[in-house]
Amino acid sequence: MADEGTYTKNADIQALAGVNANTTSKAVAATDIYVLTVEAGINAATRYNWSDKFASLDADVKGILTEAGAVACAIKVITSDMDAIGRSTAESMINVLRDTYLRNIQWLRDIKTQTFMEKESE
């Protein structure tokens, strides 16, 4: 399988899930299952279809979207086998990743930020 996402790629997910995460869980075949749902969730949470506009967005906006998608998928990878990296470590990583995701969603959802990003992309 190939990377299925518009703005979330397997390499980003693997980097955030960490080297000790379950190899099967962070393989492209596994992460492809998460990616499209995560990207749709980001679009729904921010009330904006970033997937359709991605090609025309500024690099800064693409970076925020890529990170948001990758951290959400990395959380899914980690939770699929928390024993691979140790439950305590996994929980700490999930907390950090969740905070990053929520911050990015807040930025993307804020209409003033969204307006700014659209102007940057013109």
Evaluate whether residue 56 is within a structural domain: yes
Instruction: Say if residue 8's pLDDT is above 60.
Output: yes
Evaluate whether residue 19 is within a structural domain: yes
DSSP string, 50-75: HHHHGGGS-HHHHHHHHHHHHHHHHH
Q: What is the pLDDT of residue 30?
A: 85
Q: What is the pLDDT of residue 27?
A: 87
pLDDT per position as a tens digit, 48-59: 999 998 998 888
DSSP string, 80-114: HTGGGT-HHHHHHHHHHHHHHHHHHHHHHH-HHHH
pLDDT per position as a tens digit, 54-105: 998 888 889 999 999 999 999 999 999 999 999 999 999 999 999 999 999 9
Report for 15-19, 24-28, 51-55, 69-73: range of highest mean pLDDT = 69-73
pLDDT per position as a tens digit, 100-122: 999 999 999 886 666 776 676 66
Cβ proximity of 74 and 97 under 8 Å: yes
Q: What is the pLDDT of residue 115?
A: 74
pTM across the whole model: 0.88
For the chain, state the CA radius of gyration: 14
Give me the domain span that covers residue 48: 11-120
Number of domains composing the chain:
1
Evaluate whether residue 5 is within a structural domain: no
Side-chain half-sphere CA neighbours of 87 within 13 A: 0
Evaluate whether residue 6 is within a structural domain: no
Evaluate whether residue 55 is within a structural domain: yes
Evaluate whether residue 25 is within a structural domain: yes
Evaluate whether residue 2 is within a structural domain: no
Evaluate whether residue 4 is within a structural domain: no
